[in-house]
Amino acid sequence: MRRQFADWLAPGRAQSASGHDLAPLTPAQREQLAARLTPEERHVLLDHGTEPPFCGGLLHEHGAGVFACRLCALPLFVSTAKFESGSGWPSFTKPFDPAHLRQIEDHSHGMIRTEVRCARCDSHLGHVFADGPPPTGLRYCMNSLALGFQPA
């Protein structure tokens, strides 16, 4: 029986409460997925870049669906959590599943802010700020280039 479930019992194997695989990608898997990215997507996701405000392709996406990590397709935000923040980047009040995001204190650009990364592939997504609307008071400010939209 142990052999039958060996991959499930493997160290590092994790699953979120919503049932998604959170096992970290191997360097080879990450590079294989990164090979299909455009140079701009690669800059944002892998080099912690930021797209210019008001230019992202998902800024005005208001359809029903899920916004997922562009690199590993982990669901990150549902469309019902999206709101117009006026910041120039897609903004959300809460994640699809809190376990799908990793938050890191960021001291770049002379500021202290909280960077948001994908919990599975460690890609840079954007930042979270405590100036959002109710009910959470949070504004997850994401790069369009870091997300893919999956219609419902």
Active site residue 118: no
Give yes or no for a contact between 76 and 57, defined as CB atoms under 8 angstroms apart: no
- Quick one: tokens of 152? 């419902």
Give yes or no for a contact between 34 and 112, defined as CB atoms under 8 angstroms apart: no
By CB neighbour count within 10 A (0-12 exposed, 13-18 middle, 19+ buried), where does 126 fall?
buried
Instruction: List active site positions.
Output: 141
